[in-house]
């Protein structure tokens, strides 16, 4: 009896382990087959493996979709996977990756999505501005300037001036999508009571004041608040106000991915525009006899490299300091105009180039270009990595005249987005910044129980 039980037991054990073994193999085998199938499916249908991140479009209503830094050697042009197939030298790669046969007339990533969002933004975006009286001791910093803004930091002054007169303003904080902190970094810097050394404390005090006098800051830790600054001193202005740096939307000219104080996706790149009056409509591309020019102080390693390589070249005109001839003549007489990183990634040169119908050549690694999530920069500019400065001439001469004509006509199409007006005009720099803010509006609110 005991024996038969033992037999039965050992038999069933064997049976059991056999079947266990096959049970083990069935799911493993299935899993293997499924994985292979999934892998095959993904590789045959997905864009993941062979296309650039530029394919990501920003979708309606969703807030934050950004185009990553444009590295001409790495990202391939949309609808093109030639970059993958053809391992060639850097210039050829660069051409395939950015211009080649692919220059097209489309300056937007997706004009339909942009237009639909824009109309909704124009209809419904509401901004609340913290109010300050005319007799506030810091009225000079907090209220808009009463003159026509000019010079390098005009974008900051224009924005406030135009916003306060616009239909986006609401007096009712409960219907506001966003809250504007109206201090001016450029004016704080000039104010003797504050100065460069006092800006950080001023901002800290300002945030203390509004977060104690109003309930709005605390609801989101500042996430639905924004400020606008063009002066580069702004990049350290928030060092004593971490919540502004990490939560609020910073609309700034010094928009470098490399800076710890600038958070791509959350923050907004503000174009630095030196307002130019009486600009001739444009000069025909064939009348632009010079290939490319640069003028400016040699104040950075990138500019030093430029001088080192091209300082004596007959076609690449690199001028240290001011030109001896009028600046406008150079902008109108050259096919390409160089923007080269100085102290900061940003300068007014891109705006100048666009304004005068010159195709900008941008040498400023990590620059989060203005409106890069709306406009397709490679359709109206040439982006060259710092390391490729020695290839500059080859790259520019490699652009055929037809390709140049497309780039140049696209410059004329986009330049309205880089212009300020005291009374805003649809799609100008003001509206474009409003659109960027609209994309970043926050819907998360914490209700305070008080």
Ligand X SMILES: *[C@@H]1O[C@H](CO)[C@@H](O)[C@H](O)[C@H]1NC(C)=O
Which residues form the interface with ligand X (CB under 6 A)? 119, 122, 167, 202, 205-206, 209, 211-212, 215, 218, 308, 311-312, 426
Q: How many CB atoms lie within 10 A of CB 282?
A: 18
CA distances from 50 to 45, 79, 438 (A): 11, 10, 32
Report the residue number, 68 or 173, with the smaller CB distance to ligand X: 173
Q: Least CB distance from residue 323 to ligand X, whole Å?
A: 18
Q: Give the span between the Cα atoms of 350 and 369, in whole angstroms.
A: 10
Closest C-alpha to 356, from 285, 421, 420, 304: 285
Pick between residue 113 and residue 279 the one whose CB is nearest to ligand X. Answer: 113
Q: Cβ 117 to ligand X, closest distance in Å?
A: 11
Q: Which of 253, 259, 262, 342 shows the shortest CA–CA distance to 304? A: 342
CA Rg value for the chain = 28
Q: Which is nearer to ligand X, 191 or 394 (CB)?
A: 191
Shortest distance, position 293 Cβ to ligand X, whole Å: 16
Print the SS3 string covering 103-171: CCCCCECCHHHHHHHHHHHHHHCCEEECCCCCCCCCHHHHCCCCCCCCCCCHHHHHHHHHHHHCCCECC
With b for 16 or more beta-carbon neighbours within 10 A and e for fewer, the 359-381 pattern comes to: bbbbbbbbbbbbbbbbbbbbbbb
d(CA 419, CA 309): 34
Report the residue number, 29 or 131, with the smaller CB distance to ligand X.
131
- CB 270 → ligand X: shortest distance, Å? 21
Nearest approach, Cβ of 347 to ligand X (angstroms)?
Answer: 23
Cβ of residue 200: shortest distance to ligand X, in angstroms? 11
Q: Among residues 31 and 115, whose Cβ is nearest to ligand X? A: 115
**Nearest C-alpha neighbor of 181 from the set 400, 1, 437:** 437
Cα distances (angstroms) measured from residue 350 to each of 120, 204, 272: 29, 33, 8
Please identify, using beta-carbon distances, which residue of 223 and 407 lies nearer to ligand X: 223
H helix and E strand count, the chain: 17, 10
Of the candidates 404, 413, 415, which has an alpha carbon nearest to the alpha carbon of residue 354?
415
Nearest residue (CB) to ligand X, 170 versus 218: 218
Residue 343 DSSP class: S
Closer to ligand X by Cβ: residue 136 or 329: 136
Cβ closest to ligand X, residue 83 vs residue 293? 293
Task: Give the shortest CB-236-to-ligand X separation in angstroms.
Answer: 17
Question: What tokens were used for 385?
Answer: 């990595």
Cα gap 314→321, rounded to integer Å? 18
Nearer to ligand X (CB atom), residue 210 or residue 328? 210
Q: Which residue has the tokens 């900061």?
A: 344
In angstroms, give the least distance from the CB of 355 to ligand X: 23
Residue 449 beta carbon to ligand X: minimum distance, rounded to whole angstroms = 10
């Amino acid at each position: 009896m005991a024996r038969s039980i033992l037999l039965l037991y050992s038999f069933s054990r064997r049976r059991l382990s056999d079947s266990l073994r096959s049970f083990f193999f069935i799911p493993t085998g299935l899993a293997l087959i499924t994985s292979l199938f999934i892998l095959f499916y993904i590789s045959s249908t997905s864009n993941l493996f062979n296309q650039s991140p530029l394919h990501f479009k920003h979708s309606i209503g969703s807030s934050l979709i950004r185009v990553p830094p444009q590295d001409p050697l790495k990202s391939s042009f949309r609808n093109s996977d030639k970059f993958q197939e053809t391992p060639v030298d850097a210039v050829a790669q660069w051409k395939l990756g950015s211009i080649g046969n692919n220059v097209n007339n489309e300056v937007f990533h997706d004009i339909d999505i942009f237009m639909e969002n824009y109309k909704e933004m124009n209809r419904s975006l509401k901004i609340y501005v913290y109010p300050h009286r005319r007799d506030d001791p810091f009225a000079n910093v907090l209220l808009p300037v009463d003159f026509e803004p000019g010079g390098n930091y005009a974008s900051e002054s224009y924005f406030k001036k135009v916003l306060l007169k616009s239909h986006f303003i609401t007096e009712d904080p409960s219907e506001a999508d966003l809250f504007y902190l109206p201090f001016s970094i450029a004016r704080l810097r000039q104010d003797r009571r504050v100065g460069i050394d006092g800006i950080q404390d001023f901002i800290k005090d300002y945030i203390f004041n509004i977060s104690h006098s109003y309930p709005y800051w605390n609801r989101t830790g500042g996430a639905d608040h924004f400020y606008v600054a063009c002066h580069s001193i702004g990049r350290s202005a928030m060092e004593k106000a971490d919540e502004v740096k990490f939560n609020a939307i910073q609309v700034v000219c010094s928009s470098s991915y490399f800076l710890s104080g600038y958070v791509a996706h959350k923050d907004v790149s503000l174009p630095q525009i030196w307002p130019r009056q009486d600009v001739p409509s444009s000069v025909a591309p064939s009348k632009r006899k010079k290939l490319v020019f640069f003028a400016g102080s040699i104040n950075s390693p990138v500019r030093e490299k430029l001088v080192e390589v091209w300082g004596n070249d007959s076609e690449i005109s690199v001028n240290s300091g001011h030109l001896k001839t009028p600046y406008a003549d150079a902008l109108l007489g050259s096919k390409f105009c160089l923007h080269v990183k100085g102290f900061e990634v940003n300068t007014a040169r891109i705006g100048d180039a666009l304004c005068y119908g010159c195709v900008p050549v941008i040498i400023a690694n990590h620059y989060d270009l203005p409106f890069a999530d709306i406009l397709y920069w490679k359709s109206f500019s040439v982006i060259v990595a710092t390391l490729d400065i020695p290839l500059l001439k080859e790259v520019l001469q490699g652009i055929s005249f037809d390709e140049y004509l497309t780039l140049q006509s696209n410059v004329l199409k986009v330049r309205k987005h880089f212009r300020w007006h005291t009374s805003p005009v649809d799609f100008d720099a003001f509206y474009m910044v409003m659109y960027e803010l609209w994309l970043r509006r926050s819907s998360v609110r914490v209700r305070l129980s008080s």
